[in-house]
Amino acid sequence: MKKSLFIRKSIELLQREEEMEGEHKLKRVLTPVGLVALGIGGIIGAGIFVLTGHAAAEYAGPGIVLSFIFSGLACVFAGLCYAELASMIPIAGSAYTYSYATLGEFIAWIIGWDLILEYLFGASTVAVGWSGYVVSFLRDYGIAIPAYLSTAPLAHDASGWHTTGALVNFPAVFIVALVTTLLVIGIRESARFNNAIVVLKLTVLILFIGFGAYYIAPANWTPFVPPNTGEFGHFGWSGVLRGAGVVFFAYIGFDAVSTAAQEAKNPQRDMPIGILGSLVISTVLYILVSLVLTGIIKYEFLNAPDPIAVGIDAAGAGLLWLKSFVKIGAIAGLSSVILVLLLGQSRVFFSMASDGLLPERFSVVHWKFKTPYKTTITAGVAAMIIAGLFPIGLLGELVSIGTLLAFVIVCVGVMALRYRHPELKRPFKTPLVPLVPVLGALTAFSQMIALPLDTIIRLVVWMAIGFVIYFTYGAKNSKLRM
């Protein structure tokens, strides 16, 4: 049993599966531009429009810029590893599929179960944030959505669970339903929708950077790294590290690019371009936006759900014309993040079902749309329930640690595959192995352990549930084992 837990899929088997026809075949329509846009669509969203202000106010101060640089560096190391594996293994499933080929079935299950948590809760979290921006935007124009239809009916604090008197967060449910429908209809249509949104939100952010730079007061950057309060993670260099872990939520979109490998036209060439291109562009934008934002207003005032709008208010009348554009950009940006996360979740679910680790009915592709419609609808319904009932703070806690765990496993997987199969063809090769994979794993792991203990405990509980499912169903129905 011990040996069979770590049974691996050969690269040859994965490549044969990629060439199969029939009811499990996905449509290859994504170009390099579409993949870069998919990555930007997933990365540029909650991180810039919501989390930047929270992390600056609570953990890092203006040093949030350094947090983004540290997270971006970790992502570059991991991205280089992702690019090598994605060019070799052009199959849907991202880190789950890579782990199956390099570290064995049990590790693949762990990362697959982790990715389901990451994407599902990530999409639900962003949907709640989308609801907040939409309610605020409509209120500016005299349209009021009552609180009982736009807030979570359940809340959790130090005293435990309690009800709020609300019925459901309807806007959050609505956007998940809309995006789920779009994903069922087709990947090409989804990509076109995402491309249009990416252009819109990049325009908004460039306007904010360009015009906001004129309102920077350098005194707001002093001290750049506020002194530690005496508690680990609250300012000082430990705060910069914790801030990096918190804002890592923003980078789950680049992981989602690799889940679409089976829908790329030329994955061996296009996947490295999509992964690394979206990562570089997004990281530069994060750094510039956080620099401008903390330069316009003192970091203590940024702990708000709409920090960029707060910064615009602080700049005065000269920037007020941009406020509506920022809210539109945020609404559009968060919409594309939901799309990318639900896309990633459904493709991981699809891959696990194709391998027999989850019920095979979830691996069926729609006869007309050529999308994994059953897993897409299942993921969408689950995300609607979660987004409609639970508050954003509780939902967001687990997402960053799931992303970081995936990065650690991918970096280790590259080293394992280089050692076991140095002869395999690698259309893209991670440079400076083992240095780059080791640095990627270490930087990601250091951010994991800097996160609050409660977050780590919740991840352990989720994994325990996954182990029960694997040993009672997945291990008995694994196609590779049979």
Confidence at residue 348, expressed as pLDDT on a 0 to 100 scale: 82
Give the residue extent of every domain in the chain. 2-447
Residue 395, pLDDT score:
61
Give the pLDDT score at 278. 84
Whether the CB-CB separation of 227 and 61 falls below 8 Å is answered with no
Which amino acid does the sequence have at 116?
I
- What is the structure's pLDDT at 438? 93
Neighbours of 433 (CB within 10 A): 16
How far is the C-alpha of 391 from the C-alpha of 387, rounded, in Å?
8
CATH code for the part of the protein at 2-447: 1.20.1740.10
Contacts (Cβ under 8 Å, ≥6 apart) of 337: 41, 42, 44, 45, 46, 122, 123, 126, 253
Which structure tokens are listed for 388?
Answer: 């409609």
> What residues contact 372, with CB distance under 8 A and at least 6 apart?
26, 346, 347, 349, 350, 362, 363, 364, 365, 366
**What was the pLDDT predicted at 24?**
47
The reported pTM is 0.78
Average pLDDT by stretches of 10, the chain with 482 residues: 68 64 54 78 75 83 89 83 77 70 85 84 84 83 86 71 82 92 75 78 89 90 88 85 76 69 70 82 89 91 78 84 84 83 82 85 75 85 87 64 82 86 82 90 84 80 92 87 75
**What pLDDT is attached to residue 1?**
46
**pLDDT at residue number 22:** 47
The predicted structure's pLDDT at residue 469: 92
Q: Looking at residue 19, what is its pLDDT? A: 59
Predicted pLDDT of residue 190: 65
pLDDT at residue 188, as a whole number: 65
